Structure 1
Amino acid sequence: MLGRADVAAQIYWGYSDNIILNGIGIGQNTTVSGAIYIPSEVAELYKGKKATAVRVGLYNSVSELKVFITEDLDGTPETEKTFGSQKTGVASFSFDDAYVISGKGFYVGYSCVGINPIGRSSIYNVNGCWVKDGDNAWIDYAGNEEYKYNALNIAVRIEGEDLPEDARLIVNNETLVKPGEGFKLTAKLENLSTKAIKGYKVEYNIDNGETQTIEKTTYLTGGSSTSFSIDVPAINEFGMHTVNMKLVSVNGIEDANPVNNDVVAYIKVTENSFVRRMVVEEGTGTWCGWCPKGIVAFEYMDEKYPDTFIGIAAHDRDVFSEDTYAPIQNYFDSYPNCIINRDPQKVCSPLSGNLESEYKNLVRDQAVASMVTSANLEDNVVHAKVTATFANPGKDLDYRIAFVILEDSITGVTQANAYAGGANGEMGGFENLPNPAPIKFNHVARGIFDYNGIENSMPSEVEVGEFYDFTKDIELPRVQSTKYLSIVALLINGKTGIIDNAAKAHIETGATDIRNNEITNVSIYVTPEGTICCSEEGKLEVFNLQGIQVSGHNLTHGVYIVKHTSESGQTTMRKIRF
């Protein structure tokens, strides 16, 4: 057994902080593995010391958790241990047989079964994110320029005598600011040694400009961290900027490990403020007596937040079930249940209070893009189109579009009703209905195309102010009536699986093909009084940069997206600045 002195001689070495920002997986309850790489220049510092445990951050509850250390991801582990089922959060797991660090580079990681379970932080490091997915292949998601994922929440516990003195800087990978506004950039210094830090010096520059110095006195014990801030003056130039930081010295001498002394914080300057819509995908069934609570909550949110709430009822094991939406049920262990913007940390019971509380938090966030969608039905084919305008320029992106067809006002089917006669209290009027209850069903998902989003439906590189269109022809699924159909366009982040924004529109009927129908010579302009006009007859729809439709008269100054639909059904999109 380790004595008290031995327990103190230990540190955790990794790239992330203990904050779990999001999860990695394939959106299904399956086996997935994650690892970080400790390069040889670090391993040499700890040569002869023992790696005794792995600290992991789980984004979701998992089963079959196994931690390991290996010098070859495709080879036999140097040491490993299985721990079974574990809950969401950060915890350490000790090996029975410690790995003695040889000085060679090695990997530290874990495997488990879960839905997007591998926790990821907001800190970037090129060695911080190896993932083994459903194809049983390890992918370097940090070093690959196509992805550049942030570091996984993994750290190795190293024990031994005379551990080297080491410290590292930590800073969030990206900050969003408006032009002309100065702000404070917060960073952290973490002590990775057993000796206390009493002072440190940091140098930094903005966009490779003049170097400035920060010197601080502190008392920082081993394994702890302290925060400091940098005053960043107002930046007026739109786009991406950098704050480069370097840890120069600790306790008056150069830090022993230069590998983790340099960090870069990326600053995005943008004037756009796109509202993020809330998408709630609910697992429900007509056989479920408690599912009226979701029906009531959706109607409440629809009425109160018609422009920014999108409810999708994905039925299971009833007449409305659709195979294309079956994967969503993996998030739920009971009914009714729902997931918000497909964020695995936001699975909850679909009560009005729950949804409204989550809504108020979510809409504070700026969306990555505004979206406008439209669709028409012709000869049992839905011609769907979405136009996205991104708030910031970006490279190496993986945004994907998925279309959902919804139907409202479906009759002839009854809903099991546990609230009949007030047996279980009030539930939006269901207490006054029999069991089962004859109702009109709304928000019913008639299919999703495709569940994980269509690859390459959005470009990997985008610019501010550009329109990015995607169209898809969808064979009309089984519906009761074509009168009450809607199209929902989901913008799914292929790197996280999260829905970053969405748009919804009624599906029009008629002989209109929106795939290649823009009129190139149409003139759309705004009068000095703030009225949108068009050189062609037809329907004009005006959207602000939040993607919300507004009046085309008496506009306030700003930027608008204008959609013109001609009498023959052709559509044209223009950006107008007033």
Structure 2
Amino acid sequence: MKLLHTCLAVLLIVLCTGPVAVAQTTTMDYSYYDGTTDLAQTGSGKKETYDVAIHINQPALTGTTIKGVIISIPHTTAVSNLKVWLSKELTLQSIDGKKQNVPDICTQPADTALAFSSTYIPLDQPYTITEGGVYVGYTFTINAVGTDQNAANPLIVCESQNEGGFMIHSTKKYLKWVDQSDVANLAMKVRIDGVAANSASVSLPATIYTITGQTATTNVTVANYGANGVQSFDIDYTVNGTPLTQHCDLPAGQQLPGEFGKSTQVAVSLPAIGADGTYPATISISKVNGQPNSSTAAPTAFKVDARAFIPTHRPVVEEFTGTWCGNCPRGYVAMKAMKRLHPDRFVRLAYHCNDSMMVMTQEQFPLSVTGYPIASIERHGTTDPYFGSDSKGAHPLYIEREWLAYANQYVPVDVAVEAKLSADGKEVTAQAGITSTRAMSNAGYKVEFVLVGNGMSGTGNGWVQENYYNNATADIFPEPEFAPFLGTTDKVAGLDYDDVVLATTRTLGTDVALPNALEAYKPCQAAATFELDAIVTPDKLNPVKFNKTKLDVVALLINVATNKVVNAGIATVDATDYRTAVDQLTTTGAQPKQPTIYYDLSGRRAGAAAKGVLITNTGRKVVR
């Protein structure tokens, strides 16, 4: 399914300014569109009939009544036969030789003008939701496509990805019911009556990490389940048996409308904990808008983990690329953009194949590579270095979202790195300090050191980047780093390449195994040495061109059992001694030698072979 992004200006205004909080205190809208995520159009591009639906299966809504729907179809003269329907099951029956949707609760015709304007469509027979939930959907036919993009892509979706948020069947492309909720959700609303006036829930990660002896704050998610929305709430929580309360008045821009499941994040204060350890805690909402919370959900249990410090998680992205690869500019761009966006935490390793920066064969890569460009985050499988797992290509730099998901995960071990270039410029020595925040009796870690080059450039075909994006535009690829590739040529010269892998202890056979027993807060040391003259092409015939004063060393902490990267550290190689040595050669040893001039005792210039007593221009007396 192709997602066609569009500004959808009119539709967005209608959806955002529609009846999100109604006058009746028991009526609210259920939707997977929160009014802020991007909207897009999608469809098969064919002349066919669509059946689409969302699944409502919230226990809190059992016993409430569906009164109507708000659906959105972009305006087109090619649409007809619009119907809205409800069904307990999604069922297809063969009618006139075609499989057609057969709802088991109700079906009614609807005015397409209401769908074009995202206007409320009431049900002729309101329906009470029973246990197990209900599918709410609509059906319409596209009679022609041609150049009409609204007819080719008549479904309005949002980038949310909630289970049950997008079910689809069609007469030509989707010949059975397909769940597309992992791609997007339908931007439709279901109006429900009989809900509680003031109801909300709170959720947070299973474990909150804090620094021992310090007060802290953590973000919790507050979700609305009441018709009045949420303007204020009171939280009750306990930490290690100590009861606490907190009142919160949401600012105007953060208040939740009367729509089911709409949420916001707020900061909750946590008390200081005096000693390392993991402590039980609970949290719940006691009041909503000053009234008792109608939700009967039990308090949410979580844990507070207090340690002397919280390690910094730096997920490594390993990219596999080559200048001959016309799609590889998107990896080049993504990695530079990620370093700009996350300069203190982003770690990248670029493995080049079949170009002037190649130092190892494809068989020596840490992962199996089947195409270029390709990447991996902490060696958890492979993904695209720009689009990530977004195979539809609907989201620029989607790799950032996936990297952040790793970066936001807690790791118990910190990695610190130092590296130095020798005065003669022949070797780089590196040290890593691995510090665990808790004692481990069977850690099972090793350290792989990787030497990388930055600002690498050169002349010749091996440095010229093939470019398949010369006809692409900035509205599709908006990162400023894409500028050298858009509207240019199919071969781009003069680029600087960063984070290029030059050597690794993995291929040298010198990875460092750490002790199984790690003491809390006691750094465990690992070291490595790289001989720079040994950095040559895989055939060992030619040296690889790099700048000795623009090197980094990356230390990868690896779980030996899984071969996955746990954390990483990076350091710029200190080239101070080498630069000083070069400066000394420049100022002393490199001085041009003055020619010796000979004079006789009368002061006349003489040749070096002249007989007698001679005086040189340095004042030295010579007798020949």
TM-score per shorter chain, which class? 0.3 to 0.5
Larger radius of gyration: 2
Please give the TM-score of this superposition, normalised by the length of structure 2.
0.38
Greater fraction of residues in strand? 1
What TM-score, normalized to structure 1? Answer: 0.41
